[in-house]
Structure 1
Amino acid sequence: MYKRDDSVRTFNVWQLVCFGLLTTPLAMGGLAMAMYLPTYYAVDMGLGLGLVGAIFVFGRLLDIVTDPLIGHWSDETRSRFGPRKPWMMAGVLGFSISVYLFLAPSGAIGPAYLALASCLYFLFYTILDVPYSSIGLEVSPHVHERSVLAGSKAVFQVVGAILAAALPFIMGYSIGEALQVIAYAIIALCFIGLMLFLLFVPTPARTIDSPRLTTVEALKFVLSDRRYRYLLGSFLIVQTSNSLVSGLMVLYVIHIVGAAELVGLFLGILLLSSAAFLPLWIYISKRYSKKTSWMAAILTCTIALALIPLVGRGDVTAAIIISIIVGSTFGSDAIMPTSMLADIVYEKEQEGKNRLGGLYLAVKNSVSKLSFITPMGLAFPVLGYIGFEKTGAAGPNAILTFFFFYSALPILLRLIALYVLKTGPDFIVEQKRNSVSG
């Protein structure tokens, strides 16, 4: 178990709010990109699921390269404002422009426009998110508070996702109209969140006088930790499972449950249950360990996913119950790996003189984005080939194919993740009483 030290805390409630708020516009863009934009560009704009999936996969592959570079450059930045804030300010400006281009295209567009807009979106998302999230790894010397910080971001992530999910249905807009409103809301919240972050969030100040590391040297160092490699592998497997479930949920509600009018309700249930069960996973992590909490969530979701094929057309209540259980585990999938990574980063930075949090986080983000390739690069093209978005569950082969991607494959992936975590190293980091010093 962890050795607890609850006598000192870095953040009060208001500072937690100011720390987490900037996650809201990022989450709004992320949900719009995952839930609405593939179908919007494929169907409404007439580009087709296969082409849209290929373009999005290309953007994610670009991220796998740019994330570690930006993370490392952020680590090595030395300015009077600190290493992260200049990147965050540039990121907010670029992200706002790219969000407008990506979410609110004017008139008919073609594949070239989608490719450019999506690549700009992915790039500036990284420029904003990696330095911002890196501060969350560095700012607290307290083991349990790192989970609270990750939980703060997770709550605001849910808030942003709910806002993005609810707008089309609350306001009665079409998807295209709603995406424009979402774009404006993201831009406004980016600037508000940045201002509050800069004014009220206490950030660590470390004087770095060691020689600069090259990107290759820094990568070799962070990947030399066996715990980190196991954490990355487990995270990739679980996120791939989650990407399949979240990416195909709209098709599940429309074609399997037969409740197209309840898509917004299902998305809201998934997100709200994710936030509602966060205290449970944080309690388990404090009482036992973060690894135990995450494994419990993985097993719970696996059981729920096994029930999905039992749900048929019109079984709305059963589908809602399963969505609540699945959603309840997403919070642990989000905050426990981040908190475990914060423990590793803090420990490593106490041992050495280099700042490495940005690169640690960026490699983890690259892994997360790699998981996006499975639904976009595999599930969408296969379902597009059999015409699922047009004919739905019209035949046993179509139903079996869909359930393979929505239930069977995610279950298999989560069982593999459980095995990796069970047989991997212990992630427990003892609580230290020292504080972050400059």
Structure 2
Amino acid sequence: MRTTNRVMSGWQLFCFSVLSVPLAMVSFAIVSFAPTFYAIDMGVGLAVVGAVFMFGRLFDVFTDPLIGALSDRTFGARGPRVPWMLFSFPGVLLFAWLLLSPPDGVGPVYLFCVISGYLLFVTAFDVPYSSIGLEISPNVHERSVLAGTKAVFQILGALAASLAPVIIGAQMGLSLRTLALAFLITMPVAMAFFLIWAPRQQSREARTRLSLSTAWRNCLQERAFRRLMIAFFAVQAANAMTVGLLVLFVSHVLNAPAVVGQMFLLLLVGTAVFVPLWIWLSSMIGKRRTWTVAITICAGVLSGCYMVGAGDILLMQLICIGLGACMTCDAVMPTSMLADIVARDEADSGHPRAASYLALKNAASKMAFVAPMGIAFPILGLAGFDKSGVNGPETFGILLFFFAGLPAVLRLAVAGYLWRRAGDVTVTTTPA
């Protein structure tokens, strides 16, 4: 592995990572607020919204690997992959606004078109951008610093999104419109910082040019990558169900819709505060064991949701902090383990495949998003879930099962899988 001197100043580190703030802000709003907003506030319906988001994500799953493979072979005057970012930038702005600030009376056709457009353009922008972060420095430690800084900026963006309902109030439509406006202002500024002051990446052609299918096949033939993706997909599905249903759980089980934003804020605070703990623990017991510990603890936290009743604000606050603390490990450890796999593979093969690996990982994450949209929402709709709050014990039981019960079971299964498959999901690298 290359261990040359570090090449990025603190200012350059900032200028590269700041793009993560507006991207994370919109992504958090779409995952956490938009489904419930369209289903209930806009009157589209839970089952219809679930189906639209599911098909939009499935479409995105196919475009991610394609854009990743094409990005691996794209070179421009400003460096590899940047042409993709410049091409997709206007589309990201347009469809983010249309999705978060819809006109009155829109239906499922509008929702399907704008969610598909946004996911396509943001994939074409974010896959190349994130891949540059894996390759921009030849120094192994500096790559870790860059990844950590980018994660912090992502948390800041998600925190900004979660604060909107708290500051503005419980009116979700106004909150989403405010976030859309903030995105239109901050995204061009962050892009300018990136283009002007972020360090240029050196062009690096592969020793030989592979077909797209061969590039994907080579990634998937890496056993450690396959095993890691199985565990990552299951945990992401569990997280998607919990986060995607948090609005409904707080509004109808806790019976406190006014504190929805507060609960998201506490979840993100837990995410930010516990990052150093997981990094320290991984240096003591290893990445796989650290992730297994976090997965198991989160299953215990989720079981506490069965004790939540109307008005149990303090208990729900503690649960949200605990969920955030564990979910940050779900992001950091798999990414770090994937970086080990990518570094070893590129050193052995001589092919720049970072974007292909990253895109396949993103595809797994987006497939996991189907869990709440394609399963939980339609089943709740068929069970007669009433947005007015007049629901029987059976309906609340279904909501609780998808919010906490099934995610806890998935997490425990993954913990056992990681324990048994230690050698398959761990890659040993030589320290810098």
Q: TM-score, normalised by structure 2?
A: 0.94
Deviates more, 1:86-95 or 1:382-391: 382-391
In structure 1, the partner of 2:391 is: 394
- What displacement does 1:109 show? 1.4
Distance, in Å, in 1 between the alignment partners of 2:321 and 2:388 is: 28
In structure 2, the partner of 1:60 is: 57
Residue 351 in 1 paired to residue 332 in 2? Answer: no
- What displacement does 1:202 show? 3.0
Among all aligned residue pairs of Structure 1 and Structure 2, give the percentage whose two residues are the same amino acid: 42
Distance, in Å, in 1 between the alignment partners of 2:137 and 2:286 is: 18
In structure 1, the partner of 2:263 is: 266
Distance, in Å, in 2 between the alignment partners of 1:78 and 1:100 is: 30
The 1:300/1:15 distance shift into structure 2, 3 A limit, reads farther
Deviates more, 1:344-353 or 1:66-75: 344-353
Distance, in Å, in 2 between the alignment partners of 1:296 and 1:417 is: 11
Contact (CA 8 Å) 1:245, 1:410: kept in 2 or not?
yes
Residue 308 in 1 paired to residue 305 in 2? Answer: yes
In structure 2, the partner of 1:338 is: 335
Distance, in Å, in 2 between the alignment partners of 1:354 and 1:327 is: 36
- What displacement does 1:11 show? 4.1
Structure 2: stretches of 5+ with no match in the other structure: none
The 1:126/1:172 distance shift into structure 2, 3 A limit, reads same
- What displacement does 1:174 show? 2.5
- What displacement does 1:389 show? 4.2
Residue 429 in 1 paired to residue 428 in 2? Answer: yes
- What displacement does 1:130 show? 0.5
The 1:398/1:231 distance shift into structure 2, 3 A limit, reads same
Distance, in Å, in 1 between the alignment partners of 2:7 and 2:253 is: 48
Contact (CA 8 Å) 2:40, 2:387: kept in 1 or not?
no
Structure 1: stretches of 5+ with no match in the other structure: 434-438
Structure 2 counterparts to residues 156-235 of structure 1, below 5 A: 156-172=153-169, 174-235=171-232
Residue 368 in 1 paired to residue 356 in 2? Answer: no
In structure 2, the partner of 1:409 is: 406
Q: Secondary structure at the match of 1:307?
A: helix
Distance, in Å, in 2 between the alignment partners of 1:353 and 1:258 is: 56
Contact (CA 8 Å) 1:89, 1:194: kept in 2 or not?
no
- What displacement does 1:206 show? 4.2
Distance, in Å, in 2 between the alignment partners of 1:271 and 1:188 is: 23
Residue 384 in 1 paired to residue 385 in 2? Answer: no
The 1:106/1:399 distance shift into structure 2, 3 A limit, reads closer
- The AA in structure 2 aligned to 1:367 is A
Count of residue pairs brought into register by the alignment: 429
In structure 2, the partner of 1:19 is: 16
Structure 2 counterparts to residues 39-54 of structure 1, below 5 A: 39-54=36-51
The 1:208/1:28 distance shift into structure 2, 3 A limit, reads same
Contact (CA 8 Å) 1:131, 1:358: kept in 2 or not?
yes
In structure 2, the partner of 1:125 is: 122
Contact (CA 8 Å) 1:256, 1:393: kept in 2 or not?
no
The 1:103/1:426 distance shift into structure 2, 3 A limit, reads closer
Contact (CA 8 Å) 2:298, 2:326: kept in 1 or not?
yes
The 1:298/1:366 distance shift into structure 2, 3 A limit, reads same
Deviations, residues 133-161 of structure 1 (Å, cap 9, x unaligned): 11222234555544433322222222111
- What displacement does 1:128 show? 1.0
Residue 102 in 1 paired to residue 99 in 2? Answer: yes
Distance, in Å, in 2 between the alignment partners of 1:148 and 1:422 is: 28
- The AA in structure 1 aligned to 2:335 is T
Deviates more, 1:99-108 or 1:213-222: 99-108
Contact (CA 8 Å) 1:67, 1:363: kept in 2 or not?
yes
Distance, in Å, in 2 between the alignment partners of 1:413 and 1:126 is: 27
Q: Secondary structure at the match of 2:106?
A: coil
- What displacement does 1:366 show? 0.4
Deviations, residues 274-327 of structure 1 (Å, cap 9, x unaligned): 011111111122333222222221111111111110121111111111111111
Distance, in Å, in 2 between the alignment partners of 1:154 and 1:431 is: 24
Q: Secondary structure at the match of 2:33?
A: helix
Contact (CA 8 Å) 1:154, 1:275: kept in 2 or not?
no
Q: Secondary structure at the match of 1:390?
A: coil
- The AA in structure 2 aligned to 1:14 is W
Residue 418 in 1 paired to residue 415 in 2? Answer: yes
The 1:412/1:12 distance shift into structure 2, 3 A limit, reads farther
- What displacement does 1:375 show? 0.3
In structure 2, the partner of 1:436 is: none
Deviates more, 1:17-26 or 1:357-366: 17-26
- What displacement does 1:367 show? 0.3
Contact (CA 8 Å) 1:18, 1:196: kept in 2 or not?
yes
Distance, in Å, in 1 between the alignment partners of 2:385 and 2:330 is: 29
In structure 1, the partner of 2:33 is: 36
- What displacement does 1:163 show? 1.3
Distance, in Å, in 2 between the alignment partners of 1:145 and 1:336 is: 17
- What displacement does 1:387 show? 2.8
- The AA in structure 1 aligned to 2:429 is E
- What displacement does 1:132 show? 0.8
Structure 2 counterparts to residues 122-161 of structure 1, below 5 A: 122-141=119-138, 145-161=142-158
CA RMSD of aligned residues (A): 2.0
- What displacement does 1:356 show? 0.5
